[in-house]
Amino acid sequence: MRIDGRDYRTIWLDADGRRVHVIDQTRLPHRFETIALDDLDAAARAIRDMIVRGAPLIGVTGAYGLALAAAADPRDAAILAAYETLLATRPTAVNLRWGLDRVRALLLATPEAGRAALAYAEAGRIAEEDVACCAAIGEHGAALIHAAAEKNPGRPVNILTHCNAGWLATVDWGTALAPIYKAARAGVPVHVWVDETRPRNQGASLTAFELLSEGVPHTVIADNAGGHLMQHGLVDLAIVGTDRTTRSGDVCNKIGTYLKALAAQDNGVPFYVALPSSTIDWRLSDGVRGIPIEERGAREVTHISGRTADGGVAEVQVTPEGSPARNWAFDVTPARYVTGLVTERGVCAASENGLKGLFPDLAG
């Protein structure tokens, strides 16, 4: 994607092919800064502290983290320890395990001398595959937006999204936002309702930043506004991303997604989830009971940060001193509330048969 006249991806290598660079997403939208990840610890910190975030990007960063570890020490014990360190950074997005498993399996089957080069090559392949998957998701999802536009000529298609499942959450394009970019670039008039996505405000800060940079009309709304908009016919469809989708089509995504899906069902609004196949956890069926939900620090709920009048960034407390807070980062939307899954191979029902139909080679 283009920022200030320059094309960026969210993760890339130095000219020497060893150092990993990422965009510091904790600074957006107020500052666009990049950070170099020099070693395993830096990669693990970047994921844990959400300098990088979004399921597919976490997976790619994990893969590069293992490459950085292999470059420092290619022995089995070091690779296995690095794998565990990276896996422990964030528990919910399954793409992290998927990316780490791919690189670890290759490394352990290779003589030590060749491991680092192989790990970088594999991490690079995972990144390229992610770009191709997201572009394909964009094409399949754009067809849904085209269809909605044909049903409602003369006005923009109103799309609601939650959190950030755009190019910042992947290597490029995004999942939920890719169809919007593809449709908008093809000339379909769209307007996006952007849930602010408390407590970390990925919608208000990251999705709004992306849509503004791409020139897509949008409006940031309070998290609780979606149901009201749907009741008044102001949402044609909802598209969100996911951190882990079970083989039966249960969808885990940013906290609050479930409530949007319930409101969508009540109002007959189609509710789509966009994902690459790396986000499917084929080992799990029951998302509500099986998916580990990350619980983050209470400070993300009790405090909020933003830009000050002098251009700095400051944090303020919104709760009374002494009120306890809890901070679950994700929830699970049962498959019955999902109209369809938009994948790199097309759109399918959120069900085991739907997923198996598109991915017979992966379903096992």
Give the residue numbers annotated as catalytic, written as ranges: 243
Instruction: Give the Cα separation of 320 and 297 in Å (integer).
Output: 17
Residue 2, annotated as binding a ligand: no
Longest alpha-carbon distance in the chain: 63
Q: Give whichever of 96 and 183 is closer to ligand MRU, judged by the CB atom.
A: 96
| Residue nearer to ligand MRU on the CB measure, 62 or 241 | 241
| Other C-beta atoms lying within 10 Å of the C-beta of residue 42 | 17
**Is there binding between residue 175 and ligand MRU (CB under 6 A)?**
yes
CA 153 to chain centre: 31
Cα of first residue to Cα of last residue in the chain, in angstroms, is 36
Which segment (47-55, 111-119, 285-293, 336-344) binds ligand MRU by CB under 6 A? 47-55
Closest residue to ligand MRU, Cβ-based? 241
Residues in 243-302 at the binding interface with ligand MRU, rule: CB under 6 A: 243, 253-254
**54 lies in the binding site for ligand MRU (CB under 6 A):** yes
Region binding ligand MRU by CB under 6 A among candidate stretches 81-89, 161-169, 317-325, 332-340: 161-169
Sorted by sequence, the CB contacts under 8 Å of residue 145 that are 6+ apart come out as: 157, 159, 179, 180, 183, 188, 190, 237
194 three-class SS: strand
149 marked as part of a ligand binding site: no
User: CB of 39 within 8 A of CB of 151?
Assistant: no
Q: Which letter does DSSP use for residue 153 in this model?
A: T
Work out which of 47, 56, 273, 343 binds ligand MRU, going by CB under 6 A: 56
Least spacing, CB of residue 224 vs ligand MRU, in Å: 18
Residues interacting with ligand MRU, by CB under 6 A? 53-56, 93, 163, 165, 169-170, 174-175, 202, 241-243, 253-254, 329
- Give the annotated binding-site residues: 53-55, 90, 202, 253-254
